[in-house]
Amino acid sequence: MVAENVTTESPALAPAVRKPRGERARRSRRGKLPGRQDWSSWPHYQSAAAGFRGYWYPVAFSSQITGKPTGVTLLGERIMVMRDKGTVYALKDRCPHRGVPLSYGSQQFPGTVSCVYHGWTFDLKNGDLVAAITDGPDSPICRKVTQPTFETAERLGMVWLFVGDGEDAPPIDDQLPEELVDNPAVVGARIQAREGNWRFAVENGYDEGHAKYLHRTALWRLFKPMPVWNETRIEQRGRWIYRVQEKQYWDAEFEGLGRWTGQAWYKKKPPKTVTNIGNTSGHREVNPAIAAQEFPGFASVSMPGVLRIAYPTFIHYEFYVPVDADNHLYVGVMANFASGIKTLPFYAKYLGAVRWLFHGQFSGQDKWMVEVTDAPPERLYRPDDSLLQWRKLAEDVTEERLARLAEAGLTPEDAEPEIVK
C-alpha cells in the first residue's frame, strides 16, 4: 500500500475545482492543505512501514511449530521455524544455493534441516552448512556457508522471534507486560492474519474515540453503556503510556441536532464515579494481581505495538505483529490472574463467550477499520492525542535504540527510502 504522500493541485486544473474561500485562505497562509499530509514529524515511525527491528514478536502458537519446517514472514523477512528435541529454531527461509525456501525442506539428520531441492543441510543452532547431500560426504562447500539464524523463545503458549540488527536480543521478559512475568495466569489467545499496515492496527487499538462509537453495536457491549465522550490525558510510566480518564459524559446535547447517548433501558447503569479499570464500570472487585499494578489508566500501549486493556477481573492484550507493509498478525491475549481450580470459570467464559464475542465479532470491527484506513493525509481531532503520544513514544524509544546501536558500532538495516504507510 504505497501512499500518495502529498496531495497538491496542479495550477492548470485549479480553476475547474474552486476551493471554498476559507480553505483557499488557509492554504495560502500556510502554503499547504489543512491537516497532516505526511508523518514526517515522526521520521522513524514513518519509515517503519514493515515494522521496528530490535524486538521480540509472537509468530505462532507453540503447538503449531513441530519437527516439520514452517515458513513465517516477519518484518518483511521470510523465516523458517521448526522444532528439534523440544527447542524451536529459526533460520532465514531462503536456501543460499538457489533461493528455494528452506521451509519446503525436512529433517534428514538430528539437529539439522535439509533443503528440499539438492539437500544442502544446515545446523539448526548456528546455521552452518554441515552437508551437501548430493555432493557426497566430502563436499568442499561444507562449513563455507552459514545461514542467518534468529533467536527464539516460547512464552504464553506462543513462539517468539527476535529480529534485530546484530545486537544481542534483550531478555524477552523485559519486553512482556510486567504483570504477566510476575504472576501466574491462564491465557486464552487468538492469532489471526489480517490485512492492513501494523501501525493502523496499533493506532486503532489505542485510539480513544472509536470504542464508544464503532463498538456500540457489538454484542460484547450489548448490556454495557458507553460514554459519549471523555476528558482524558496521557501519562507515561516506564515504557508504557496510559490514557487516564478524568471525566466521562454519558449523555450529550448537540446544539440544533438533539441528544445523543450510549445508554439504553436494557443496558447497565453507568458508574457514578470515573473509573480507570475497565471502561464502563468500576463496581466489581478488582483481582489483587491487577490492583497491585496501580495502572493510572485502563488503556496503555508500549513498543513495539503492545496494547493492554485492564478490566477488573482480567487483562486483554493485543500484540500487532508486522508481517510486511500491508499485512500484520493480530494476536489477542486474554489473561486471568489465577491458578489451580480458580482457573476453571475463566476457561468456561473464554471458550463460551469471550472467544466468539470479544476476540471474534468485537475485534472483527477493528479488523474492518484497519483494512479500510487510509492515512496520511489525515485531519486529527482532540481524542487523537492518543495517536500523537504513541507515535512520539515510538520515535523516542527508537532514538534511544539507535544510540545504543551506534555505541556498539552496529548499523541498522536501511530505513525504507520511500514514504509508505
* Contacts to Fe ion by CB under 5 A: 366
Residue 145 touches ligand FES, criterion: CB under 6 A: no
Among 98, 233, 269, 284, binds ligand FES (CB under 6 A): 98
Please answer whether residues 52 and 58 qualify as being in contact, where contact means their C-beta atoms are separated by less than 8 angstroms: no
Closest CB 10 distance from Fe ion, rounded Å: 39
What is the C-alpha separation between 80 and 17, in angstroms, rounded?
53
Among 82, 95, 244, 393, binds ligand FES (CB under 6 A): 95
383 binds, among Fe ion, ligand FES, none (CB under 5 to 8 A by kind): none
Give the interface segment with ligand FES, choosing from 96-104, 169-177, 210-218, 251-259 (CB under 6 A). Answer: 96-104
Q: What are phi and psi of 27, to 5 degrees?
A: -65, -45
Name which of 119 and 383 has its Cβ closer to ligand FES. 119
Output the furthest CA–CA distance in the chain (Å, rounded).
86
- 132: Cβ–Cβ under 8 A, 6 or more apart, which residues? 118, 119, 120, 121, 139, 141, 142
Name which of 205 and 322 has its Cβ closer to Fe ion. 205
Closest CB 207 distance from Fe ion, rounded Å: 7
Number of neighbours of residue 184 by Cβ within 10 angstroms: 12
Closest CB 107 distance from ligand FES, rounded Å: 15
Helix or strand (DSSP H, E) at 21: helix 21-30
Of 70, 162, 166, the closest CA to residue 113 belongs to: 70
The residue count for binding ligand FES (CB under 6 A) is 9
Of 141, 130, 77, 126, the closest CA to residue 103 belongs to: 77
Is 391 strand, coil or helix?
helix
115 binds, among ligand FES, Fe ion, none (CB under 5 to 8 A by kind): ligand FES
Crossing angle for the helix pair 198-206 and 363-372, to the nearest 10 degrees: 130
What is the C-alpha separation between 178 and 336, in angstroms, rounded?
14
Is 393 strand, coil or helix?
helix
Distances (CA, A) of 368 to 74, 180, 194, 361, 379: 22, 29, 9, 11, 20
98 binds, among Fe ion, ligand FES, none (CB under 5 to 8 A by kind): ligand FES
Name which of 133 and 369 has its Cβ closer to Fe ion. 369
Residue 78 touches ligand FES, criterion: CB under 6 A: no
Name which of 119 and 271 has its Cβ closer to ligand FES. 119
Near ligand FES in 109-128, by CB under 6 A: 115, 117-120
Residue 97 touches ligand FES, criterion: CB under 6 A: yes
- Residue that has been written with the C-alpha cell 471502561 in this structure: 279
Distances (CA, A) of 26 to 14, 17, 34, 297, 384: 16, 16, 7, 37, 22
Among 100, 142, 145, 274, binds ligand FES (CB under 6 A): 100
Name which of 71 and 364 has its Cβ closer to Fe ion. 364
118 binds, among Fe ion, ligand FES, none (CB under 5 to 8 A by kind): ligand FES
Name which of 102 and 185 has its Cβ closer to ligand FES. 102
349 binds, among Fe ion, ligand FES, none (CB under 5 to 8 A by kind): none
Name which of 208 and 366 has its Cβ closer to Fe ion. 366
Closest CB 349 distance from ligand FES, rounded Å: 48
Name which of 100 and 172 has its Cβ closer to ligand FES. 100
In this structure, what DSSP letter does residue 48 have?
-
366 binds, among Fe ion, ligand FES, none (CB under 5 to 8 A by kind): Fe ion
Name which of 52 and 358 has its Cβ closer to Fe ion. 358
Name which of 135 and 384 has its Cβ closer to ligand FES. 135
- 109: Cβ–Cβ under 8 A, 6 or more apart, which residues? 121, 130, 131
Give the interface segment with ligand FES, choosing from 94-102, 196-204, 217-225, 234-242 (CB under 6 A). Answer: 94-102
Closest CB 64 distance from ligand FES, rounded Å: 24
| Residue 368 half-sphere exposure toward CB, CA atoms < 13 A | 9
What is the C-alpha separation between 147 and 101, in angstroms, rounded?
12
What is the C-alpha separation between 115 and 95, in angstroms, rounded?
7
What is the contact surface with ligand FES in residues (CB under 6 A)? 95, 97-98, 100, 115, 117-120
